[in-house]
Amino acid sequence: MFEFTLRRTDANGGARLGTLTTAHGTIETPAFMPVGSLGAVKGIGPEDLERLGFGLILNNAYHLYLRPGHRVVEELGGLHAFTGWSGAILTDSGGFQVFSLAKLCRVTDEGVTFQSHVDGSSHHITPERAIEIQEALGADIIMAFDECVALPSSRERVHEAMQRTSAWARRCQAARRRPDQALFGIVQGGHDPALRVESARDLVSLGFDGYAIGGLSVGEAKPVMYSMLEATVPELPAGRPRYLMGVGMPEDLVEGVARGIDLFDCVVPTRHGRTGWLFTSTGRVLIKQARYAKDEGPIDPACRCPVCQKHSRAYLHHLFGVKEMLGVRLNTLHNLYYFADLMRQVRAAIAAGSFAAFRREFHAKREAADAPGVEETGDGQRLEESVTAQEGGR
């Protein structure tokens, strides 16, 4: 069971309000998906995610194929039964992880041979195998197997990977056996707008249930990412969901929505929680800074999350300083609430016909609060995957 209903498009731009219906619940879009690569959002239980308002999360087929194994998950009833998560699940096919985490990797038109980043064992993944793995895992939405290339690369190399991704997309469609799962194609093409258009048009001709935009937020400047969206999104059908993979920071979510994106996922809220970066309505708080040692106020006075309602900055500063695991959990809960609430505000603005004003106010607040010399960390899920490989996920 899968259906996408487009309910409204903002009159001043591309922002869209929609409803995604799956066998495991209905998701209002635009929506953000927390990342649980190994079957769990780090430190956060299913009941926490439900209370925060999430209806769709991401698990990763590559990681679950290696540990505990897709057949083990299948024997135990699939991801929903295995993890205790009753909402919808999207699985990334693992195409990026194969290339970024594998110690040795050899790519041919047939597929990819690689060594596991866990134990060095050898594996061979084809488009057909990627579909088999995801069907065994039992997600509501599965992804076609794609090839990502390191950027910058030559136009010839990017074009080759784009063509291979299209060929693999056809094989993925032919290999699918479960009509209850939605299959998304992934647009590639690097930072070349013409290749992005070519990739999108070819995938649309195949008639996927939805379309993802991959290979972005991997270190490029934000204007480059936005320009690739502006080239790609108009080529995608209005009646299908659009998913920007591995994005990102709050401003990227707002800007992605403005350009017609419906779904996002990223490690940012959870990874930043573990490193003490807390998102607020006016910017970010680095809780380890000494100025918070005696601060009795909440992380964000405007926030209604359970952490801000009960705990002070001073307490969170203390927990982070003594490396108490509760501190990481509370930080992560707050950040996830911030992302869920941001998307609620975005949807409300689109519904009210005031998204353009919301977007201006959002950026104005953050610009007013920006402190000189504060260095932003990496944006993208796919970029951060390589940084956090040793943690077992995104």
- pLDDT at position 381, please? 39
Active site residue 109: no
Provide the CATH number for the domain formed by 2-265 in this structure: 3.20.20.105
- pLDDT at position 99, please? 75
Q: Which DSSP symbol is given to 118?
A: T
pLDDT tens for each residue of 260-293:
999 999 999 999 999 999 999 999 999 999 999 9
Determine if residue 341 is left, alpha or beta; phi over 0 gives left, psi from -120 to 50 gives alpha, anything else beta: alpha
Rounded percentage of the chain residues whose pLDDT exceeds 90: 86
153, with CB counted inside 10 A (0-12, 13-18, 19+), is middle
The token pair that represents 308 in the structure block:
């801000």
Task: Check: CB of residue 18 under 8 Å from CB of residue 29.
Answer: yes
- pLDDT at position 150, please? 85
Whose CA is closest to 246, among 261, 236, 231, 233?
A: 261
Count helices and strands (H / E) in the chain.
16, 16
> Under 8 Å CB-to-CB from 137, ≥6 apart: which residues?
59, 61, 64, 70, 73, 74, 78, 79, 91
Catalytic entry in 265, 300, 341, 379 = 265
- pLDDT at position 195, please? 98
pLDDT tens for each residue of 138-167:
999 999 999 988 888 999 999 999 999 999
Task: Check: CB of residue 94 under 8 Å from CB of residue 65.
Answer: yes
**Which residue intervals of the chain bear CATH 3.20.20.105?**
2-265
3 state SS of 157: helix
Task: Check: CB of residue 350 under 8 Å from CB of residue 10.
Answer: yes
- pLDDT at position 219, please? 87
Pick from 179-188, 217-226, 370-379: least confident: 370-379
Q: Where are the beta strands (DSSP E) in 260-373?
A: 263-265, 277-280, 283-286
- pLDDT at position 388, please? 39
Whose CA is closest to 6, among 33, 24, 28, 31?
A: 28
Q: How many CB atoms lie within 10 A of CB 63?
A: 23
In whole angstroms, give the CA distance from residue 32 to residue 40. Answer: 16
pLDDT tens for each residue of 167-183:
999 999 999 999 999 99
Question: What does pTM read for this prediction?
Answer: 0.94
Find residue 5's DSSP bridge partners: 19
In whole angstroms, give the CA distance from residue 328 to residue 322. Answer: 11
Active site residue 370: no
Q: How confident is residue 373, by pLDDT bands cut at 50, 70 and 90? A: very low
In whole angstroms, give the CA distance from residue 389 to residue 126. Answer: 22
In whole angstroms, give the CA distance from residue 157 to residue 150. Answer: 10
Catalytic entry in 10, 48, 92, 146 = 92
- pLDDT at position 380, please? 38
Q: Which DSSP symbol is given to 14?
A: S
Q: Which residue has the higher pLDDT, 231 or 148?
A: 231
- Kindly state the greatest CA–CA separation across the chain: 61
In whole angstroms, give the CA distance from residue 37 to residue 361. Answer: 34
| Summary mean pLDDT of the chain | 92
- The answer, yes or no, to whether the previous bond of 30 is cis (omega within 30 of 0) is yes
- pLDDT at position 370, please? 63
Rounded percentage of the chain residues whose pLDDT exceeds 70: 94
The token pair that represents 156 in the structure block:
């010839």
Whose CA is closest to 369, among 300, 319, 315?
A: 300
Pick from 64-68, 103-107, 164-168, 313-317: least confident: 103-107
In whole angstroms, give the CA distance from residue 297 to residue 208. Answer: 49
pLDDT tens for each residue of 335-351:
999 999 999 999 999 99
For the chain, report the end-to-end CA distance as a whole number of angstroms.
28
In whole angstroms, give the CA distance from residue 26 to residue 86. Answer: 12
Whether pLDDT at 377 is above 90: no
Whether pLDDT at 376 is above 60: no
Ordered DSSP codes for 242-269: EEETTB-SHHHHHHHHHTT--EEE-SHH
Q: Which helix (H) or strand (E) segment is 361 a member of?
A: helix 355-369
Side-chain half-sphere exposure of 17, counting CA atoms within 13 A:
17
Whether pLDDT at 97 is above 90: no
In whole angstroms, give the CA distance from residue 339 to residue 337. Answer: 5
pLDDT tens for each residue of 114-137:
999 999 999 999 999 999 999 999
